[in-house]
Structure 1
């Protein structure tokens, strides 16, 4: 049964809790878009453990971003995760013509979503088990992904 109710949030702590919940409720795929991922807790121990569990059990992860510097410089745990699971994680940077996009979201299994309405603000919503709630963002992600180019390679040479 689909859960059509969305739960709002207004703080970074709430975003982090909903993001962790999205990871836990997803088994197949995670698609994330954010300008730079500075507010996503990708560098924390518990998120690293949750993502390792998700990826070890066959999940795949796609991240699209405008700027990769935050992940590359500030999230060494995520960079190790990328080295260890490079075959299950893909990262892409958007071209200049998409840099005006300012929303931010994580979609799990095409039915779970954590979405901030604007990347400069914490206000957003989360919905779990709802294909309709995730559908528009998933369609946006697919378009962003097609236009973007690979970045954040698991090794310095990109191998």
Structure 2
């Protein structure tokens, strides 16, 4: 994202396709760093198709990280993150004091396995994939959309438990 686009508001409206979804995430994380977002919440079943391992994304996260910041990450499983996003895993180790990774216990999702949202929530902008297969969704800065998504996510967070430790201690 160049300097001119950093001052451009993040988009409101529908997006379609994996490339558009991934670009929205890149742009949002650059904006987060540039604007100093205090808190970012991300949620996905496994983050497999998120661009978390890209150098530009990790650079944006590095620029964002600092005192008073909080990154909450909710998933069913973090296996794909460790396998597909090694740069992110290294960044996570460095900034583990800012990051709360949580997993939803398997029994909590048996009724509807697709109900865990795939989303990013910032202080005044949200992005949510509505159709994972076709990678379509909606983004925007409408307060009602953010509040509704945050309330839904809070229910999942209440049923979650700590996961994805920054380090694994062995004997």
Fold conserved between structures, TM > 0.5: yes
- Structure 1 runs, 4 residues or longer, greater than 6 Å off: none
Gapped regions of structure 1 (runs ≥ 5): none
1:127 corresponds to which residue? Answer: 140
Report the RMSD for the aligned CA atoms in angstroms. 2.0
1:101-116 aligned at under 5 Å gives the runs: 101-109=115-123, 111-116=124-129
Specify the alignment match of 2:155 in structure 1: 143
Aligned to 1:17: 23
Stretches of structure 2 lacking an aligned partner (at least 5 in a row):
1-8
Distance 1:57 1:46 in 2: 21
TM-score (norm 1): 0.87
Q: Distance in 2 between matches of 1:118 and 1:102?
A: 12
Higher RCO (CA 8 Å, separation ≥ 6 residues): 1
2:109 paired residue number: 98
**Greater Rg, structure 1 or structure 2?**
2
Question: What is the CA-CA distance between 1:36 and the residue it aligns to?
Answer: 0.6
Q: Give distance in 2, aligned partners of 1:133 and 1:89.
A: 24
Q: Is the 8 A contact 1:22 1:107 kept in 2?
A: no
Deviations 1:53-105, CA, capped at 9 Å, x for gaps: 11136421001001111101111111111110000011111012225224310
SS in 2 for 1:117: strand
Moved more, 13-22 or 64-73: 13-22
* Maintained 8 Å contact 2:116/2:156: no
Q: Please report how far the alpha carbon of residue 157 of structure 1 lies from its aligned counterpart in structure 2 after TM superposition.
A: 2.8
**Number of residue-to-residue matches in the alignment:** 153
Q: TM-score, normalised by structure 2?
A: 0.82
